[in-house]
Each structure stands twice: as C-alpha cells, then as structure tokens.
Structure 1
Amino acid sequence: MPVYITLLSWTEQGIRAYKDTAERADAFGAALQGLGARLVNIYWTVGPYDLVGIIEAPDDETAAAALLQLGKVGNVRSTTLRAFGRDEVEGILAKAASA
C-alpha cells in the first residue's frame, strides 16, 4: 500500500488544546481506518513541524480525503509527501532506465 509522510503544524486552536493531542491522534487513526487507510505511526517533534505522521492508504485520493477530514477539524495544517519503498523505487529506476 502506498505510504505518505505527513508533516503537521498546530494551528492556534490546536496548540490551545495541546493536552488532547494523543486523543486527537487516536481519532485520526480511527478515521483513517474508516476510509480503508492506516496510521502506521505518529511522532511528536521539536523543530519546524509539531508532528510527523506515517500513513498507508490504497491511493492518492484516499490519502487526500483523509487529510481533508483532518484539516477541517482545525487543529493542524499539513504538508504531505508520497514516499516510495525500496521495491517501488527499484521499479521506478527500471522504468527510467528503459526510457
């Protein structure tokens, strides 16, 4: 399943309710499951982003829908990267070499 790395920054609303962050992460994980995706892990970080989430989703559309649902709650803003595992990148390299 495709992997997405999501860099999250708290909004003013999100930082005011920082004590609920673990419960909000659980709710996001449950919402992902409802869409057929999965929260692999989430990390609370120090630096330019407040959290980093690792998500698996069946496709880009599902990942986008999940992130829209997350964003509409208003606690975070996200930047998402599509990540490629070793097997995937080897396929990409093979395609690039044959072109």
Structure 2
Amino acid sequence: MPTFVTLLNWTDQGIRAYKDTTQRAEVFAAAAQKLGARVLNIYWTVGSYDIVAVVEAPDDQTATALLLQVGGLGNVRTTTLRAFGREEMDRIIAKAG
C-alpha cells in the first residue's frame, strides 16, 4: 500500500485545544480505518511542524479524502508527501533505465 508522510501544524483552534491532541489522533486513526487506510505512527514534534503522521492508504484519492476530513475539523493544516520504500524505489529506478 502506498505510504504518505503528513506534516501537520496546529491552527489557532488546534493549539487552544492542545490537551485533546491525543484523542484527536485516535479519531484520525479511526477515520483512516473507515476509509481503508492505516495510521502507522503519529509523532508530536518540536520545530517547523507540530505533528508528523505516517499513513498507508490504498491510493492517492483515499489519502486525500482522509486529509480533507481531518483538515475540515479546523485543528490542523497539512502538507503531505508520497513516500517510496526501498522496493518501490528499486522499481522506479529500473523503469528510469
């Protein structure tokens, strides 16, 4: 399944409710599961981003739907990267010649 690394920043609303962040993470994981995706891990970070989530989803559309749902709640803004594992990268290199 494709892997996505999502970088999240709290909105003003999200930081005001920081005490609920772990509960919101559980809701995010449940929403992912309903869509056929899986949250592999969530990290709370210090630096340019407040949270990093690693998610597997069957396709780009599913990942995008999940992130639209979470973004629509108003607590975070997201930047998402499609990540390629070693085997995927080997196949990409083989195609490139």
- The TM-score range, normalised by the shorter chain, is over 0.9
**2:31 alignment counterpart:** 31
**2:87 alignment counterpart:** 87
2: CA distance, partners of 1:83 / 1:77: 19
Q: Please report the TM-score for the alignment, with normalisation by the length of structure 2.
A: 1.00
2: CA distance, partners of 1:88 / 1:40: 18
AA of the residue aligned to 1:16:
R
AA of the residue aligned to 1:38:
R
Question: RMSD of aligned C-alpha atoms?
Answer: 0.2
Give how far 1:78 is off.
0.2
Runs of 4+ in 1 over 4 A off after TM superposition: none
**1:44 alignment counterpart:** 44
Aligned with 1:82: secondary structure? strand
Aligned residues: 97
Give how far 1:7 is off.
0.1
Q: Please report the TM-score for the alignment, with normalisation by the length of structure 1.
A: 0.98
2: CA distance, partners of 1:82 / 1:7: 11
Structure 1, gaps ≥5 residues long: none
Structure 2, gaps ≥5 residues long: none
1: CA distance, partners of 2:27 / 2:40: 14
Aligned identity (percent) is 67
2: CA distance, partners of 1:53 / 1:26: 12
